[in-house]
Structure 1
């Protein structure tokens, strides 16, 4: 028994631009250029907000209005002050320029910007905005306004400060100035407070109020080993040493000076040191990664500022405290690690062991 194959006719589909008609109904797709543009991950603002978001924003506005007890005390924080590139001195300028004074005058509705004293304002944050949706690139500032100093230097601003109302994310009132130091000063302040408390209770026999240090008789220093000299290991060792512990830092790689020579040999002569390269050594894997300091924890939170000020304490430039996306650069990270190393801290209880074995 044989099976006969049916005759298969060749089917030729027409091109989209062809005028021929298929035997079955088809739906023509619109041209790609006529499709509506879909904005993905765009922030909803204004009328695009959901009703729940509008309700939360109203509640925040009410809370901000009730929190202000005296408008002439404390500091007003002015955010999202956009200055065009043409009116700004440049990215390295961190002071108060004439263009920034004009934006501050618009925010507080002061008629003459040139009459505002620059000494009453301090720049907290400066970032660069060059998105395509903008007509021109701008520098975006966050500025703290000292009300008492502003009124002393320019008394005619009293009426404008009295009419000033807080707006969430734009104008915020802080009754007390936020003062945050580096990690070393924070620990010394905590030790001073604890020493004064123990001194009152009679549990401390040797305490120096000026130096802020105290010694507990009969107590031994705890011995702690920290494995790895990356950012976490270095800061953990620094905090433990400042608290009075006997810290030993263990690292499988080499110190930063020898590590730099080994990386140079790898790049030039293709000689690989298994325990001293881009991944292993003092400073961790990020030492030769341009030192970007971008974080999502909080732009101006106290914890982030404490870490940033600690880096400045050990040799980092001061502009990382203000730049929107700060970075150090490998050329600055290497001397900073030299200053942060145990032999340079001068604590006397911060040892370092270089272990090439596993």
Structure 2
């Protein structure tokens, strides 16, 4: 088997021959595959008719030169005189592996398991049959970390019990839609809480910077495909699902866990952990207004980064936690067409919706950077507490909104919190969110960038309108932020304008406050992934060990595998 990591094909060639309806979405069709195979064969001087096996494993873009944008592919292939051809090529971007066997399983076969569940009963009805007569592994939270931990354990025959404070994704969507229409916030079920976690209402990004020697990253992506995600997430450099598809995937995973004997309580808020002799004994939850206790040998805490009341309970229970740095700032919107032209030039209509990533260090040594960039997306009201307001970004799978948006954030650390209390970061977030709520009477506060620089309230929009879920109104967004943060954002956006033409335009739309970039605490755990309380396993983003859907899911798998040893 020959492995090649630098097979390059110019976009101008791909546009001519690749299927346009697939190519513009990043999907690889037969014509594109043939072009890549041809380029690979030419690179190692192998006649294309002598290639007996060919597989594209990764696809990424090099758009640094707008007049010569290229896709770069990592491929594996088999054919004639493999070892000789690799030796003659002589560069380290091509390697030879002896006796390599790749099972080329068709996509429809890979996707069967988990999408044909016969489970149709009400999850609550099934769950209540368990009682608490036997000890089980309890998982608090059914976001990516809790979901993948539950799936891993269920497939091992361990029948975990899951407590999720929010509702099933279908009912959760109704709650969120009602909130965005101004019908009131449900503090227990919203953009932050409910089946699928906060990532359910996001762009559904699946890229991660976490190193993956164990293969858990690939396992997460393959699992998503198994339960309904598009197959291209397996090879795209920056895979995403989109909130509309992610909701279907989440539901399918739930049904698989249930069909394997796992149980899930929705609307189940963990209130108290009963600890005896330094070990977890029981978990008490409120379900439909009633208290219910669960005996457990192990408790996986996958509570997410916004479970502030649970953080307080854990502190009172003696679970060791530490302050942790995170980032705060604003959302910024631009016309998606502007971003596309800047990134791809004349090819922007032929290529997938353009993304960007920008960073800057200010004169005061503050790092400013884009976070959770949503091409063709929406800014959403992502609040979870009464009297406070936070925003996030969200895209559907088509990424077809008129605007691009991204968080522009500045890192803050314990030195900014003003207190040694372990929950000082939570207090810092709440202060900003309260100011954001009050700035526009509960609506998303918005401001044009020109007015942000002048530190004044805007009175009208420029040449484009915001794309938002939830009501919005003009306010002085800069006044919500600490001066040092506002100054850093202003400097950063002006610096980004030198890289993306028009980024610092006066009518760019800012909204705030972006405060939920990651958990404000880290729950201390040992090499066995256990906290200072025996049997308690902090997990995922809320515990401070992940930074997105994929890394949280990977951590969930890791904790589950530790329990299965």
TM-score range, shorter chain: 0.5 to 0.7
**Local SS of the residue matching 1:341:** helix
Q: Does structure 2 conserve the Cα–Cα contact (< 8 Å) formed by 1:314 and 1:339?
A: yes
2:62 pairs, out of 116, 129, 137, with 129
Aligned position for 1:294: 207
Deviation at 1:300, TM superposition (A): 9.4
1:171 pairs, out of 94, 100, 107, with 94
Deviation at 1:282, TM superposition (A): 0.8
- Answer yes or no: is 1:77 the counterpart of 2:3: yes
**Local SS of the residue matching 1:269:** coil
1: CA distance, partners of 2:86 / 2:221 = 35
Q: Does structure 2 conserve the Cα–Cα contact (< 8 Å) formed by 1:180 and 1:306?
A: no
**Local SS of the residue matching 2:76:** strand
CA change 1:94–1:300 in 2 (3 A) is: farther
Deviation at 1:272, TM superposition (A): 1.2
Gaps of 5+ in 1: 1-74, 152-156, 186-219
1: CA distance, partners of 2:257 / 2:159 = 16
Aligned position for 1:16: none
**Local SS of the residue matching 2:237:** coil
**Local SS of the residue matching 2:35:** helix
1: CA distance, partners of 2:102 / 2:212 = 14
CA change 1:349–1:97 in 2 (3 A) is: closer
- Answer yes or no: is 1:262 the counterpart of 2:175: yes
What does the per-residue CA deviation read over 1:44-84, in whole Å, with 9 as the maximum and x for residues that have no partner? xxxxxxxxxxxxxxxxxxxxxxxxxxxxxxx1101111101
Aligned position for 1:161: 85
CA change 1:266–1:78 in 2 (3 A) is: same
Aligned position for 1:104: 40
2: CA distance, partners of 1:295 / 1:94 = 26
Gaps of 5+ in 2: 111-132, 272-565
Deviation at 1:98, TM superposition (A): 4.4
Aligned position for 1:139: 71
Q: Does structure 1 conserve the Cα–Cα contact (< 8 Å) formed by 2:59 and 2:236?
A: yes
CA change 1:236–1:288 in 2 (3 A) is: same
1:355 pairs, out of 253, 265, 268, with 268
Aligned position for 1:228: 141
Q: Does structure 2 conserve the Cα–Cα contact (< 8 Å) formed by 1:83 and 1:140?
A: yes
Aligned position for 2:482: none
Aligned position for 1:71: none
- Answer yes or no: is 1:246 the counterpart of 2:159: yes
1: CA distance, partners of 2:55 / 2:213 = 14
Aligned position for 2:504: none
CA change 1:229–1:174 in 2 (3 A) is: same
What does the per-residue CA deviation read over 1:21-52, in whole Å, with 9 as the maximum and x for residues that have no partner? xxxxxxxxxxxxxxxxxxxxxxxxxxxxxxxx
1: CA distance, partners of 2:269 / 2:134 = 28
Q: What TM-score, normalized by structure 1, do the two folds share? A: 0.58
What does the per-residue CA deviation read over 1:215-246, in whole Å, with 9 as the maximum and x for residues that have no partner? xxxxx985111001110101111111122223
